[in-house]
Amino acid sequence: MRTIDDFTRPKEYLSPLDEYLGRIVREWAEKEVIPYRRKFDEDWKDHHIIEPAFRKLMGEMGMQRVLFPEDLGGWGLGHSNYLGTAAYRLFEEISRADSAMGVAFGVVFWPLILICCEPHVNRRLCEEFAPMFCETKEAVFAANAMTEPQGGSDIENLDVLGGSTIQTTAVLDGDEWVINGHKLWPTNSGGAASLFSVVCTTNPGSRDLKDFAVIFVPANTPGCTQGSPYEKAGMAADKNGDIWFENVRVPSWYRAFGPGEDFVYFLEMVSLGNMGSISFVSGSMLNVYEKLQEFVNTQYFRGKPLKEHDAVAGVLADFARDLEVIRIIGYQCARMLDRPDIYGPRWSHENVAKARAYKYFACDKAVENLGRVMNLLETYGSDRDWDIEKHWRDLKIVQLWLGGKQLAQMEVARWFFECETL
């Protein structure tokens, strides 16, 4: 019988450690996540069941250290030529078991990309925060505090709004930043995160991208408060909530870089965030493929397995086609971001637009396919014992973030068609 490993991965792109890392994460997923994931929905608030799996992966196995330089206790992936493809494999393997865990794990690295990755390593901040992640066996989470109650995806719509709608302010007082504002929805908020990168403005209402700032704030800083996690349709292993910053003071050098540079490297977070989202999609679809294999080989109609009926085979073929394409473009996106010498810097508008195009294509196709799979399974499709409905709920949420389909469409149109008024 065919397996998930028969779907194409471009082998010439892969890290020398790819198979080794993939195997150990898959083994972790099989033992620590898949047997328990049906209980995750009820564990959305406390993570009593979810947390031990994170602790094993991130703390005991050391996966939360991968971006930091080796001399600080990390694995040095921040100066690797395989940052994108290695991350894709890790996120995909985790998401096959539970895409929310893939998201929560991936977002640990989202803020750290700013300070750990060449060619813009902030050595001082690496030294400041490496012990938090590298000197413990506990799972330690980071979060990118970006979205605000009044703005939604406006903060990401920098080409048009230039950060002018950002309400969270950072004022320099001597050698400290004083931060005030309210963020909501960041992955790993809701009480999970120990470190935030906070998107701020140093001049409210300004469209000057030099006033766009990303400042790191440890979660235990006085004046920083996290609310309880939200109960969502899916993604239970990814906590989301509110964060309030009330006269929060951090050293001036906690700013990621400085005027103009924060904006440039924030775009890198957008391109890599879209690439990671594709891996969450393909990981989930790989597990749906496994479930489909089981169903259509063991369920019969008119004396034949379901897969031997042409109407069913058509659905199966479309699913396999789309998973094959999604996986290939996901790895292609990752490799493009790994090779700035060929494709340009990860923060270029071209790479941001292309990563957005791949992500919203993958999400649209995945949600469409899972709807058809649920119809094919009939009542089994909504039965939690088959896990299809879990992946369906999770992937709908993946489709919505990073500004959703609408902002993705606008940025793709702006770049490919050089639109001037969108």
Q: Which CATH number does the domain housing residue 311 bear?
A: 1.20.140.10
Among 285, 289, 287, 281, smallest CA distance to 363 is for 281
- State the pLDDT confidence band at 401, using cuts at 50, 70 and 90: very high
What does the pLDDT read at residue 17?
A: 87
pLDDT of residue 421: 85
Is the pLDDT assigned to residue 329 strictly greater than 80? yes
Question: What is the end-to-end Cα distance of the chain in Å, rounded?
Answer: 49
CATH number at residue 225: 2.40.110.10
Q: What is the pLDDT of residue 408?
A: 95
Mean pLDDT of 8-20: 92
- CATH code at position 14: 1.10.540.10
Q: How confident is the model at residue 332 (pLDDT cuts 50, 70, 90)?
A: very high
| Domain identity same for 105 and 53 | yes
Q: Tell me the residue type at 288.
A: V
Whether the per-residue pLDDT at 21 is higher than 80: the answer is yes
3 state SS of 305: strand
| Residue 182: inside a domain | yes
* pLDDT tens track for 151-192: 777 788 888 888 999 999 999 999 999 999 999 999 999 999
**65 and 197 housed in the same domain:** no
If one counts the domains in the chain, the total is 3
On whether both 149 and 137 belong to a single domain, the answer is no
Comparing 47 with 154, the larger pLDDT belongs to 47
Average pLDDT over all residues of the chain: 96
Q: Which residues contact 383 (CB under 8 A, 6 or more apart)?
A: 377, 389
Q: Is 90 exceeded by the pLDDT of residue 341?
A: yes
Determine the average pLDDT of the residues in 357-366.
98
Question: Hey, is 304 helix, strand or coil?
Answer: strand
Do residue 184 and residue 271 come from a single domain? no
Residue 422 included in any domain: no
Q: Which amino acid is at 199?
A: V
Following DSSP, what letter does each residue of 175-241 receive, concatenated? Answer: TEEEEEEEEE--TTTTTTEEEEEEEEESSTT---GGGEEEEEEETTSTTEEE-PPPP-SS-TTS---
Q: Are residue 235 and residue 357 in the same domain, yes or no? A: no
CA 222, CA 250: separation in Å to the nearest integer? 10
How much is the pLDDT for 196? 98
pLDDT tens for each residue of 109-155: 999 999 999 999 999 999 999 999 999 999 999 999 999 998 777 78
Which residue range forms the structural domain that includes residue 233?
Answer: 144-259
* Spatial distance between the Cα atoms of 169 and 182, rounded to a whole number of angstroms: 10
In this prediction the pTM is 0.97
Q: What DSSP letter does each residue of 312-326 carry, written as one string?
A: HHHHHHHHHHHHHHH
Domain edge (last residue) among 141, 161, 185? 141
The verdict on 322 and 180 lying in the same domain is no
> Does the pLDDT value for residue 261 go beyond 80?
yes
Whether 403 is in a domain gets the answer: yes
Query: Are the beta carbons of 187 and 107 closer than 8 angstroms?
Result: yes
